[in-house]
Amino acid sequence: MSWSQNFNKNNFLFALTLGLPYSVILIFSAYGPALHYIIGPQQNALLSSIFLAVLLVSMVLPLPRMISRTAYIKLTAGLIAAASVLLGFFAVLPLYLQIAVIILTGYIEGRIASLWSDMFISDGDRKNCIFVLSAALAASYFLLYLSNLIFPQLSSTAIAVASASILALSIPLLLILSGRSKTDAPNGTAAGSMDVFVKLRRGVILRILILVFIIYITAGFTYTIIFPTLRETVRFYRFYNVLPFVIALPSAGFILHRYGVRVLLHLGISFLGISYVFYHLRIGNSGYFLTESFIQPGWAFLDLLVWFLGVYFAERTGKSIIVTVFVAVFLLGTLSGAVLSLFLEQVSASNSMIFLLLSILPLIIVIPVLNSIRISTGNEKSKKESRLPKKKLTPREYEIALLLTENYTQAEICDKINISINTLKTHTRNIYKKLNLSSKRDIINNYGERRM
């Protein structure tokens, strides 16, 4: 089945429940057009940095064990309602109350992300997570595109009310998802016990998190220097700005589904590097189009990739908090890049060759790490079949060996090929003996990659 054919009501509901609140982050709180038009670019950078700091802390906070998920969702829904009301009056509030609203909104957005992750890992269609994540990002960035078109024509109050209305729509979506949940147990999968973070300190997860952080330092440059500069210097900026991102998402989902993590990561980094060169060439309107035509698809590829990696490792560890840890790390990278870019502006380096080098350097640093990444979506074409010594195995053993390399459980293999557990154990012993291996881990490490 094609990844784009995975539409159903539940997937659509999960996509909207993530996409709408995420759009509020993009539109209002994180260097978005709403804050730009309400309070101006300088205050936008300050309040957005505060918001991101609160959001990333909220995302890594564990969901409470003491109460059920349903009860916590209802509590969160009440907070969303209160935040939506305050957000609607944001334009007329004094600065100190605006900061308070930003802090509250950041906390709530983090809680929504954690709840979504918990419900998706326990009840969602994880096999089709690429479709769900692509649809969620498409919805959020399409709303951002509409806001870029419409907000310049609106008053500050209308902009704030529009942003608050989108946030308020999260309430019924969360409640509907909660009602459809198969379990109402305390949030065990997301309860961030310290052993989760101990595991993050070693192995492939840590390497990938470091890679994500380094890449997203350049996102801070993008949001605080490149986009504001383009907004002020290109008259038709708002008509094209986010459009390439939205258009690129179906391609990003297809590439990730078909060809895997490394291909999408290489493409994303390459697109960003090209866009930074075009930006610094300063060649007028054509340079603007080239910059946007590469920078937006680059971030579309990488944003989808980070969300996918979070779901991938959450499924492997059984801890949905891993999803929000990944997102928090890319937010931390963005925040770090924003702070660095603001410093560069103060020393007048943002328009120099120094800035170009600093914006491309993180992308160059992560390239050697790419070769160490081995993550399978379960759909991309790979060399695992050619690596398995087919001649040494019977047809049935070869079929089982392929499933073992994709990390299927014993129960899943028995169900998939309709054999008993004892028959499977016999075939597995024969496979290990013929391949001179001793465990499932050995066959995965030597001949395959873990499936999603």
How far apart, in Å, are the Cα atoms of 338 and each of 216, 261, 324, 341, 449?
10, 27, 20, 5, 36
Q: What is the spatial distance between Cα 331 and Cα 26, in angstroms, rounded to a whole number?
A: 12
Q: 186 φ, ψ to 5°?
A: -55, 155
- pLDDT surpassing 80 at residue 282: no
**Residue found under tokens 């330092």:** 217
| DSSP-derived secondary structure letter, 356 | H
The type of residue at 411 is A
- Count H helices and E strands in the chain, helices first: 22, 0
- The 3-state DSSP class for residue 347 equals coil
Q: 181 φ, ψ to 5°?
A: -65, 140
How far apart, in Å, are the Cα atoms of 178 and each of 248, 311, 380?
32, 19, 33
Closest to 61 in 3D by CA, of 114, 19, 118, 20: 114
Summary mean pLDDT of the chain: 81
pLDDT in tens, 237-273: 778 888 999 999 999 999 998 888 888 888 998 898 8
pLDDT in tens, 386-412: 467 877 888 888 888 888 887 788 887
- DSSP labels, 10-37: HHHHHHHHHHHHHHHIIIIISS-HHHHH
- Residue 298's Cβ-side half-sphere holds a number of Cα atoms within 13 Å equal to 21
The type of residue at 158 is A
- Assigned CATH topology for domain 3-370: Growth Hormone; Chain: A; (1.20.1250)
Handedness of CA 304, 310, 316, 321 (dihedral sign): negative
Report which secondary-structure segment, H or E, holds 129: helix 129-150
Q: Tell me the pLDDT band of 355, cut-offs 50, 70 and 90.
A: low
Buried b (16+ CB within 10 A) or exposed e, 148-186: beebeeeeeeebbbbbbebbbbbbebbeebbeebeeeeb
Q: What is the spatial distance between Cα 240 and Cα 288, in angstroms, rounded to a whole number?
A: 10
Residue 355 or residue 104, greater confidence: 104
Q: Tell me the pLDDT band of 201, cut-offs 50, 70 and 90.
A: very low
**Range(s) within the chain of domains with CATH label 1.10.10.10:** 384-447
Residue 202 or residue 191, greater confidence: 202
**Range(s) within the chain of domains with CATH label 1.20.1250.20:** 3-370
Residue 415 or residue 91, greater confidence: 91
| DSSP-derived secondary structure letter, 124 | S
pLDDT for residue 338? 79
pLDDT in tens, 295-337: 999 999 999 999 999 988 887 777 888 899 999 998 898 888 8
Q: Which residues pair with 186 in a beta bridge?
A: 68
- DSSP labels, 252-272: HHHHHHHH-HHHHHHHHHHHH
The type of residue at 323 is V
Q: Tell me the pLDDT band of 448, cut-offs 50, 70 and 90.
A: low
The CATH architecture of the domain made up of 384-447 is Orthogonal Bundle (1.10)
Dig out the tokens for 389 from the structure: 């010594």
Check if the beta carbon of residue 74 is closer than 8 Å to that of residue 192. no
In 326-393, where do the E strands start and end? none
Q: What is the spatial distance between Cα 33 and Cα 26, in angstroms, rounded to a whole number?
A: 8
Q: What is the spatial distance between Cα 179 and Cα 169, in angstroms, rounded to a whole number?
A: 16
Would you put residue 407 in left (φ > 0), alpha (ψ -120 to 50) or beta?
A: left
- Dihedral of CA atoms 232, 234, 238, 241 in degrees, nearest 10, equals -110
